[in-house]
Amino acid sequence: MGKANSAFKVGGFIEAPYFVDRDDELQHLHHDVRTLAQSNVVIAPRRFGKTSLLRAVESRASGEMLVSYINCLGIVDPVGFHDRIVEEVLRSFAVRHGKGKRLLATWRDLLKKPVLGMRDALAEIGGSVEGMGAIRLKFRTREVDAQALLGSALAFPEKLAAEQNERVLIILDEFQALVPLGEHIFSLLKEKMESQKRVAYLFSGSSLRMLHEVFGREGKSPLYQMVGRLFLGEISYPFVHRFYRERLREVHGCEITDQALHQVTECVGGIPYYFQKLGVSLEREIALRAKKKITTSDVERTFALLLEELSGDFQERWETRFTRQQRALLKVLSQGPMSVTEIARSMGISPANISYNLSRQTEAMILTKEDRRYRITDRVFATWLKEL
The dihedral through the CA atoms of 42, 47, 48, 50 has a sign that is positive
CATH code where residue 301 lies: 1.10.8.60
- The answer to whether residue 57 sits within a structural domain is yes
Q: Is the pLDDT of residue 21 over 90?
A: no
Q: Is the pLDDT of residue 117 over 70?
A: no
Produce one character per residue of 265-285: b if its CB has 16 or more CB atoms within 10 Å, e if not.
Answer: bbbbbbbbbbbbbbbebbbeb
Q: Is the pLDDT of residue 303 over 50?
A: yes
Residue 225: per-residue pLDDT: 84
Produce one character per residue of 6-43: b if its CB has 16 or more CB atoms within 10 Å, e if not.
Answer: ebbbbeeebeeebbbbbeebbeebbebbbebeebbbbb
Q: Give the whole-number percent of the chain exceeding pLDDT 90.
A: 64
- The answer to whether residue 66 sits within a structural domain is yes
* Nearby residues of 58 by Cβ (< 8 Å), 6 or more positions away: 67, 69, 169, 171
CATH code where residue 351 lies: 1.10.10.10
Dihedral in degrees, nearest 10, Cα atoms 103, 104, 108, 111: 50
Q: What is the mean pLDDT of the chain?
A: 89
Residues 311, 368, single domain; the answer is no
Q: Average the pLDDT over each of 215-219, 264-268, 370-374 and give the range with the smallest value.
A: 215-219
Residues 31, 142, single domain; the answer is yes
* Nearby residues of 94 by Cβ (< 8 Å), 6 or more positions away: 100, 101, 103, 104
CA distance 383 to 385: 5
Between 199 and 144, residue with greater pLDDT: 199
- The answer to whether residue 7 sits within a structural domain is no
Residues 308, 258, single domain; the answer is yes
Residue 2 — pLDDT band, cuts 50, 70, 90? very low
Mean pLDDT calculated for residue range 69-84? 92
- The answer to whether residue 297 sits within a structural domain is yes
Residues 168, 287, single domain; the answer is no
Q: Is the pLDDT of residue 114 over 80?
A: no
Q: Is the pLDDT of residue 379 over 50?
A: yes
CA–chain centroid gap for 222, Å, is 21
Q: Is the pLDDT of residue 3 over 60?
A: no
Residue 1: per-residue pLDDT: 38
Residues 226, 241, single domain; the answer is no
CATH code where residue 111 lies: 3.40.50.300
Domain of 295 in residue numbering reads as 237-318
- The answer to whether residue 102 sits within a structural domain is yes
Residue 281 — pLDDT band, cuts 50, 70, 90? very high
Residues 312, 179, single domain; the answer is no
- The answer to whether residue 183 sits within a structural domain is yes
Residues 204, 346, single domain; the answer is no
Residue 81: per-residue pLDDT: 94
Q: How many domains does the chain have?
A: 3
Residue 16 — pLDDT band, cuts 50, 70, 90? confident
CA distance 327 to 332: 9
Domain end marker among 200, 231, 262 = 231
If 0-12 CB within 10 Å is exposed, 13-18 middle and 19+ buried, where does residue 251 land? Answer: middle
Domain end marker among 231, 264, 286 = 231
Q: Which helix H or strand E contains 326, and what residues bound it?
A: helix 324-333
Residue 100: per-residue pLDDT: 64
CA distance 262 to 268: 10
CA distance 43 to 358: 19
Residue 62: per-residue pLDDT: 92
Mean pLDDT calculated for residue range 242-264? 95
- The answer to whether residue 327 sits within a structural domain is yes
Residue 99: per-residue pLDDT: 67
Q: Give the whole-number percent of the chain exceeding pLDDT 70.
A: 96
Residues 277, 330, single domain; the answer is no
Q: Is the pLDDT of residue 13 over 80?
A: no
Residues 66, 201, single domain; the answer is yes
Strand segments (E) across the chain: 39-43, 66-71, 168-173, 199-205, 227-231, 255-256, 293-294, 367-370, 373-376
Q: What is the tens place of the pLDDT at every residue in 121-172? A: 777 677 787 787 788 878 878 888 999 999 999 999 999 999 999 999 999 9
Residues 210, 331, single domain; the answer is no
φ and ψ at 199, to 5 degrees? -125, 135
Residues 211, 311, single domain; the answer is no
Q: What is the tens place of the pLDDT at every residue in 308-348? A: 999 999 999 999 999 999 999 999 999 999 999 999 999 99
- The answer to whether residue 14 sits within a structural domain is no
Q: Is the pLDDT of residue 57 over 50?
A: yes
Residues 188, 252, single domain; the answer is no
pTM as predicted:
0.86
Domain end marker among 231, 257, 280 = 231
